[in-house]
Amino acid sequence: LGSTPEGKGVVAIFEQSKVTAELKTNSSGAGDLLLSNAQGKPMLQASGAGGSDSPWDSGIIAFDAAGNAKVALGVSTQGKGVVTVFDKDHTAAELFVNADGAGALTLNNAEGNSGMSASGAGNETSGGAVLVYNKANDMVASLSSSAEGKGLISVAEKNREVAVLTANDVGAGNLYL
């Protein structure tokens, strides 16, 4: 039982000289709970609010035995739900509610760049979309619906559309090159 140098309250449970559980007030003034393994590595962290540099408002993070973050479940600073899966030092996948209120999924490549993203309809004039990226993080293909409710497939080179396939008003397909 004590306080941090900033004057925030702390309650800690020790096993020999290692902290196994710690409950404290974080930099935002909210509560943090940290549970550690016998080696002193973090295993589970629950936070009532993120700091000023955090994209989270609150959340739970689970760690592997080495203390590396592996999965997080939280609420963004915009009040939207977020599930994040980590691999090594980057986000591997993220499922979240976007700014339009639609569900969205991002899958990253091994370098942490976008590999694929998908989102549901965010408003009444559009439907869902799937975007595919190359290793250089350039969008190379998309599958979506237009504002008119028609299917739309596009292929891109260096983030510029080079081919588009869509349905026209009489029910036939149009290919634009």
**pLDDT tens digits along 15-26:** 888 888 999 887
Q: With a cut of 60, say whether residue 173 has pLDDT above it.
A: yes
- 129's CB contacts (< 8 A; 6+ apart) are 118, 119, 142, 143, 144, 145
Q: Mean of the per-residue pLDDT values for the chain?
A: 85
Alpha carbons 55 and 58: distance in angstroms, whole number = 9
Q: What is the mean pLDDT of residues 33-53?
A: 83
CB 108 within 8 A of CB 89: no
pLDDT of 101? 84
Alpha carbons 135 and 117: distance in angstroms, whole number = 14
pLDDT of 123? 60
pLDDT of 44? 94
Q: Which of 96, 25, 102 is nearest to 55 (CA)?
A: 96
Residue 112 token pair: 């942490």
Q: What is the mean pLDDT of residues 46-72?
A: 82
Question: pTM here?
Answer: 0.80
Torsion of CA 34, 35, 38, 42, to 10 degrees: -50
**Per-residue CA distances from 93 to 82, 109, 114, 129 (Å):** 11, 9, 9, 17
Would you place residue 50 in the very low, low, confident or very high pLDDT band (cuts 50, 70, 90)? low
Alpha carbons 177 and 166: distance in angstroms, whole number = 12
CA atoms within 13 A on the CB side of 41: 10
Beta bridge partners of 152: 144, 166
Least confident of 33-37, 107-111, 135-139, 146-150: 146-150
